[in-house]
Structure 1
């Protein structure tokens, strides 16, 4: 009984000393952390696991060295060893969280040009998750190896590891493929957190990227959860891989009587009067003229996808109202003409109301590839390799 009481006293005393030492270190780190992000994160995240790990380690050392033999000593020591292993695994996980916070503090994602920051954020988060998973597996393995019976059968387990590995690989083929796909997406820079994508005809942003699945926040606040293998095996649209600025169109089917140049000037006036336009592209072209109607396409640009959506709606609404109020004859219509027996129609004998316009160089608002510095750069991207035989 005296030995047991001495063991309890020694254990509590060692734990109290360890807690006191940890508290002193914590206060010093907090004081120094006023000027250091690393020390401040250490004092916030690593204090509690450091307390637990230090007190358990001190208690285990006290029971082993300062206490004599008592009933159940072996079981108590074994439990303390397991607790120390788990506590230090917790401490290592907390340190990984500190490293993540310090690494991400230098790169803000709430700024307009945040592509590099989002890439680093995705990679750091993924690395921490992989590391935490590895820590859990290693900790569990180390705990098992503290049991003598497990160590005795270790040789036979290693001998049959090849067969077990093959069976486990076949059983977990889908899971492993998702894990490798997640790592591939993270480090190939094909997908990042907050990227704007179009998946399964749904437009949204990457809200969460894990080793096995990807969560896409759709524009109407629904969540589309996809396996990571989807993004490595099927095509998808990434609107923000290089930059957030994008182009968008608004198409209208109107009558052949539409004044295209006046409509082009109205589009330019509208763009110059709205803050949704980023000033890069404002083009209006006739892209089709079949089926008795003319298809007008307005191509505009914005700083990001949400702004572009509002800008496209604004262009569509304004041009519809402009045609209805200013040029009602350009509204879509169906024509039926009745001629005489000789099929001589009245309009075939009527003179044109004005002379045909002189052909010349089109206005820069009528050209997607050319006419401006932005258009020339876009044309150069699609010209292909230069013909060396002509030089």
Structure 2
């Protein structure tokens, strides 16, 4: 038996003991780090749940994963100080791991901050102009920050590769070539960043704005770095480039406030009694809860030989409510005209030519 063990040892590497020791040290370090992380974050979750603010829960939830691996990396660093072989392995991968962990933590902190600030910008309330403004700026700046963090993190990771670092130094030595290469490669990204910054500063649109673009009515659902998502009224999504909102005209119904005026046009017989129509409209609009009690007007806006155009003007607190109010008033007024004023229905008139009338030839 002893002879067999001696023969087996001959086939093992001479530093087998150090390899095993390094593995054991690394395993113990990782296990202890995970245990410490679990204890700490269990306590933090209890503290967050006891708090009335939901922001604490968001911060703990966003940081739990990156900090877990950061503590593991810290434990490996401490263990590597006593194990030369483990230190050699760690030095080989540290250039990738450390920038990735730092970038991940920075990204998580930024996302947690953005989500916590979004809690203070509730767009479900009626007067949500300021909340929509904050949501829009948070969305744009968070995506710009995400791009910057990812870009810097990847750059630091690539610099840990000697070959790529040498290429970068060579390119930097040739300033003209480096500027040309960087400018050509970064042009789309820089253009997107500048457009996003311009969108955040000028605010042509905001989250939940009502717009008409490409002939479609919809709400701004999301603002990305390079495109905007518009939720159409029938639940389709219209993907529009950011530059279109900066370079072309479009309608924004909630630029300053959400209140809108709506119109209903009735084409009635020229002999219809407008007074009865006005009285019935005023009665209907007073009873309708969608009316915000700002504007209600009845006017004859046009006439023709066969009809007159009557405009019913009304106001509502937002675009969706104004559309529903118009539909309800239109339906109720048509029912009233049909049942109570059938003589007001527009008709085409014609009179036969009198054959005996002098000067007029029969057709």
Name the TM-score class by shorter chain: 0.7 to 0.9
Give the superposition deviation at 1:173.
5.2
Aligned residues: 340
The aligned runs of 1:368-383 (5 Å cut-off) are none
Q: Distance in 2 between matches of 1:267 and 1:38?
A: 49
What is the TM-score of this pair, normalised by structure 2? 0.85
State the partner residue of 1:45.
62
Correspondence for 2:45 among 30, 42, 60: 30
Provide the secondary structure at the position in 1 that maps to 2:84.
coil
Question: Any idea what the Cα deviations from partners look like across 1:202-254, whole Å, max 9, x if unmatched?
Answer: 11111111011111111111111111111111111111222222111111222
Q: What are the ranges of 5 or more consecutive residues in structure 2 without an aligned counterpart?
A: 1-15
Which piece of structure 1 moves more, 201-210 or 285-294? 285-294
Pairs within 5 Å for 1:36-75 = 37-63=54-80, 65-69=81-85, 74=88
Question: Contact 1:183/1:211 (CA < 8 Å) preserved in 2?
Answer: no
For 2:137, the equivalent position in structure 1 comes to: 123
8 Å Cα contact 1:213/1:225 also seen in 2: yes
Instruction: Classify 1:284/1:92 alpha carbon distance in 2 versus 1 (closer, same or farther; 3 Å).
Output: same
Matched, 1:7 2:17: no
Question: Is the Cα–Cα contact under 8 Å of residues 14 and 55 in structure 1 kept in the other structure?
Answer: yes
For residues 100-249 of structure 1, the aligned pairs below 5 Å read: 100-160=114-174, 162-166=176-180, 169=183, 176-249=190-263
Question: What SS class does the counterpart of residue 257 from structure 1 fall into?
Answer: coil
TM-score by length of 1: 0.80
Deviates more, 1:264-273 or 1:287-296: 287-296
| 1:355 counterpart residue number | none
Residue pair 2:212, 2:218 contacting (<8 A) in 1 also: yes
SS in 2 for 1:4: helix
Deviates more, 1:32-41 or 1:46-55: 32-41
Q: 1:88-116: per-residue Cα shift (whole Å, max 9, x none)?
A: 22222111121112211222222111111
User: What secondary structure does 1:153 align onto?
Assistant: helix
Give, in angstroms, the shift of residue 270 of structure 1. Answer: 0.7
Sort the Cα spacing of 1:326 and 1:168 in 2 relative to 1 into closer, same or farther, 3 A.
farther
Runs of 5+ consecutive residues of structure 1 not aligned to the other structure: 344-391
- Does the 8 Å contact 1:197/1:204 carry over to 2? yes
Whether the 8 Å contact between 1:56 and 1:80 is mirrored in structure 2 is no
1:32–1:256 distance in 2 versus 1, CA, 3 Å: same
Change (3 A) 1:162 1:191: farther
**3-state DSSP of counterpart to 1:258:** coil
The list of structure 1 runs, each at least 4 consecutive aligned residues, that deviate by more than 3 angstroms after superposition, is 36-39, 73-76, 159-179, 337-343
